[in-house]
Amino acid sequence: METNQSNEISQTPEVKRPHYLIQAWLVILLSVFYGAILVYVQIHLGPQIEKNKTAATFAQIPALVEGADASKTESLTITGTDGKPATVYRVKNENGEAIGWVFPGSGQGFGDTIQLIIGLDPKIETLTGLYVLDQKETPGLGNFITGENFRGQFAGKSVLVPLRAKAGEPENPEEIRAVTGATISSTAVCDIVNATVAKYKEAALTQN
């Protein structure tokens, strides 16, 4: 009797865990691992990244606002319409006279976040320049938003009417010719400019 029971036990098939459970645990572990890496980078490298962005912004200020002296330009912390603090730049000339503004802006592009710095006149009514600080758009298509042919269209445009990208030749003053094959990226830049100006204009103009 004992021998038969032993044989029955030995013949019982081994219970295997479904492959999808193993895969699910693997995904969870990888997510935790990469999440920890991102937290580490943010804590230890975040300040240096922001410092580099600030340096890049000051380097571009003379190109964004004509007559600007970056050494005289001042950083101001304001609160946007979203209730969050932000740093904007009151641009000054060599005599210390305020001659414009530079606003940082960001938003979702086709591939990832697009980060801009936007030059404006003292009354925040007209764009004076645009620079793409960071982007990860499609090489050979969307990344052409960094080129002067696209960015140069923004200088002189009024911000009193929202800008919009247009495939083909613009027909109205508020239209920007989109990069061929990259309408989404082009539209994203226009949307970021519109949203950034709307967010910071009022608070900037109330600064003494």
User: In percent, how much of the chain has pLDDT > 90?
Assistant: 71
Inside any domain, residue 32: no
Q: What is the pLDDT of residues 137-182, one digit of tens each?
A: 999 999 999 999 999 999 999 999 999 999 999 999 999 999 999 9
Query: Where does residue 128 rank: exposed (0-12), middle (13-18), buried (19+ CB within 10 A)?
Result: buried
User: In percent, how much of the chain has pLDDT > 70?
Assistant: 84
Inside any domain, residue 168: yes
Is the pLDDT at 20 greater than 70, yes or no?
no
Q: What is the pTM of this model?
A: 0.77
Inside any domain, residue 71: yes
Q: List 102's β-bridge partners, or say none.
A: 89, 119
Inside any domain, residue 39: no
Inside any domain, residue 182: yes
Domain interval for residue 107: 47-205
Q: What is the pLDDT of residues 62-119, one digit of tens each?
A: 999 999 999 999 999 999 999 999 999 999 999 999 999 999 999 999 999 999 999 9
Inside any domain, residue 129: yes
Inside any domain, residue 68: yes
Inside any domain, residue 110: yes
Structural domains in the chain (count): 1
- What is the distance between the alpha carbons of residues 2 and 142, in angstroms, rounded to a whole number? 75
Helix%, strand%, coil% for the chain, nearest 5: 40, 25, 35
